[in-house]
Structure 1
Amino acid sequence: MAPKMSAYASRARAEEAFKLRASRHSWREVCDRLGYRSIGAAQTAVSRHVARQRREATPTTIETHKAAIELRTRALSQRFVRAFANGDDDTLVTLNREILRNEAELAKIGGLYEPEVLNINVTQTPTQIIAEARERLLAVVDAEVIEQKELE
């Protein structure tokens, strides 16, 4: 009988199983590589790993994601400055594209992409709207006719 695995080692193995599955390895391959006794045991370990990952508080997850994007953007920006100094236009274009994607992602996280909520209340029927538009159009035509007569 194999010695009991520590909780830390068990969680590390579950994380590795998750990564293998994410890399499109079969459950059988996961079991063979990591020493699970059955496919069901590997699936249970991966399910528990995912559940542990999802327990993190949403604000913390968002801030962690933002910090990672900001870190990458700073590194890309430093390379952008060097490429500019070296006159490397191809690298500038590539880096600029990635920096813009990162900035757009940060804007989304910050809520700048939220659609504006419009509250529209229609109080007239289509017939009433058409009649009102017709009256306004006739008033404009009448004003034009009067102006033309005054010019003559």
Structure 2
Amino acid sequence: MKTFNHITTNKFRELKKKEVDGTRQYLIEDNKFYPSITTVLGKNPDKLEGLKKWRKRVGTEKASKISTQSSRRGTRVHNIIEDYLKNNLNGQYNDNPLGMDMFTTLQPVLDERLDNIHAQEVTLWSDHLGVAGQVDCVAEFDNKISIVDFKTSSKL
């Protein structure tokens, strides 16, 4: 098991969040809010149409069940990765074989290509794009400072 190097920095600040009409907004400065990137991407017409067709094809009940299972699985795997990068993975997830299986497929990539972790679970924003959002990790990936967001899928 690799021990990750952590770079101490105070370059990141916590942003206040609020919900407006069902969308997450981040307070950037006095009275200046940016929508979350997830909110913006979630309004993509092609994505919305694709989800609508999928729900119709598999049925509303099954689609809801799949969505819930996927979300739970993603959260479990995310927690495992987060603790691993904090050098704090010591058997606490052994009762989660699916999550651990998914993690072990990703672990070699983390071990070989990721290090020098600057932050985990921080909010970043872009004045250029006018969006904000919480990222899983800011670290060096292949020796380049990178924004890392961990995703899971039931398909390869």
Q: Establish whether TM, by shorter chain, passes 0.5.
A: no
More strand by share: 2
More helix by share: 1
TM-score, structure 2 as length reference: 0.25
TM-score, structure 1 as length reference: 0.25
